[in-house]
Amino acid sequence: MRRPVLFVLVAGVVTVAAIGGGVLALGGGDDSAPPAPTPPTAKTFSTTPLAGYDTTGAVVQRGAFCDRVDPRQVTAALGGDAADATSWKNGDTIVVAKGVKDVTHEYGCRWTGVDGTVAEAWVFAPPVGADEAQQMVRDAAKAAGCEPGNGPAFGGPTLALTCTKGGAVRTSYRGLFGDAWLTCEVARPAGADWDAADRAGRWCVGVLQAASAS
């Protein structure tokens, strides 16, 4: 009469041993999880000096381009966020000087920083020939308060120009790309002391990339 009891006890011991062995077997595995993949490092944005950029192969479109300008290029050109932005297209009436409005024959845009710094660019809507471009270079170089420079090539013919008025400095590059006459400019407010020529050149690279994008 005791054998059934013994059998149950023995069976119970075997079952526990089997379960324990299973636990031991599972516990003997490697619980270490594989390392999580390292997220890619965010690439820091940096502008390119005009002297380090080949402009000879650029094909500029005689049309709207401002919406393709990288906002980071604008921030770099202004040295901070824009407080105001405007754009215009062929046939618009815009202010060309204080108290003077005119119908424009170009596509362009302008951003103004909180300190008065201005980054601007425009491309003529009508096609421009080489002879006409040469004449525009000569005329711009003779403008009052302006001094032509020996900056890097920006199209051909090309002109680097610095104009000073009331302590403010406007530095621009302009040139012919095919039949498109493109100008880009940075205006440094009076009292600021950063390198206007370098910043204008970097801004012009960003503009050229936008204006030549298909």
Q: Which domain holds residue 178?
A: 50-211
**Does 161 fall in a domain?**
yes
* Confidence (pLDDT) at 209: 96
The answer to whether residue 24 sits within a structural domain is no
* Cα gap 157→40, rounded to integer Å: 43
pLDDT in tens, the chain (214 residues): 344 433 333 344 334 334 344 443 434 455 566 666 666 655 788 999 999 999 988 999 999 999 999 999 999 999 999 999 999 999 999 877 677 888 999 999 999 999 999 999 999 999 999 999 999 999 999 999 999 998 899 999 999 999 999 999 999 999 999 999 999 999 999 999 999 999 999 999 999 999 998 6
Residue 1 lies in a domain: no
Note the pLDDT of residue 130.
Answer: 96
Model pTM? 0.79
Residue 185 lies in a domain: yes
Task: Please give the full DSSP string across 101-170, using - where no structure is assigned.
Answer: EEE--EEEEEEEETTS-EEEEEEESS---HHHHHHHHHHHHTSTTEEEE-----SSSEEEEEEEETTEEE
pLDDT for the residue numbered 14: 38
pLDDT of residue 33: 62
Domain at 195, CATH number = 3.40.1000
SS3 83: strand
Domain annotation covers residue 22 = no
Q: Report the chain's terminal Cα–Cα distance, integer Å.
A: 97
- Using alpha carbons, select from 92, 87, 121 the residue that is nearest to residue 211: 121
Q: Tell me, what's the pLDDT at 34? A: 65
Q: Is residue 181 part of a domain?
A: yes
Distance between CA atoms of 173 and 153, rounded to whole angstroms? 9
Residue 122 located in a structural domain: yes
Q: What is the structure's pLDDT at 39?
A: 61
Instruction: Provide the number of structural domains found in the chain.
Output: 1
Paired sense of beta strands 118-124 and 180-188, if any: antiparallel
* Domain assignment of residue 89, yes or no: yes
Give me the sign of the Cα torsion angle 103, 108, 112, 117: negative
